[in-house]
Amino acid sequence: MEAKYKRILLKLSGESLMGKQGYGIDSDRLASYAAQIAELRQSGVEVGIVIGGGNIFRGLSGAAKGFDRVKGDQMGMLATVINSLALSSALESAGCPARVLTSIGMFPIGEPYSPSRAVETLMGGAVAIIAGGTGNPFFTTDTASALRAVEIKAEVMLKGTRVDGIYTADPEKDPTATKFDKITYNEIYNRGLRIMDLTATTLCRENGMKIVVFDMDTPGNLAKVLAGDNIGTLVY
* Residue-range domain boundaries for the chain: 7-235
Angle between helices 69-93 and 27-42 (to 10 degrees): 60
User: Could you give the maximum distance between any two Cα atoms of the chain, in Å?
Assistant: 50
Mean pLDDT of the chain: 94
Q: What is the mean pLDDT of residues 187-201?
A: 92
Query: What architecture does CATH give domain 7-235?
Result: 3-Layer(aba) Sandwich (3.40)
For residue 9, the model assigns a pLDDT of: 98
Confidence band (pLDDT; 50, 70, 90) for 128? very high
For residue 1, the model assigns a pLDDT of: 64
For residue 88, the model assigns a pLDDT of: 98
Q: What is the mean pLDDT of residues 197-211?
A: 96
Contact 109, 143 (CB under 8 A): no
Q: Is 216's pLDDT higher than 70?
A: yes
Q: Is 234's pLDDT higher than 90?
A: yes
For residue 2, the model assigns a pLDDT of: 78
Confidence band (pLDDT; 50, 70, 90) for 67? confident
Q: What is the CA radius of gyration of the chain?
A: 17
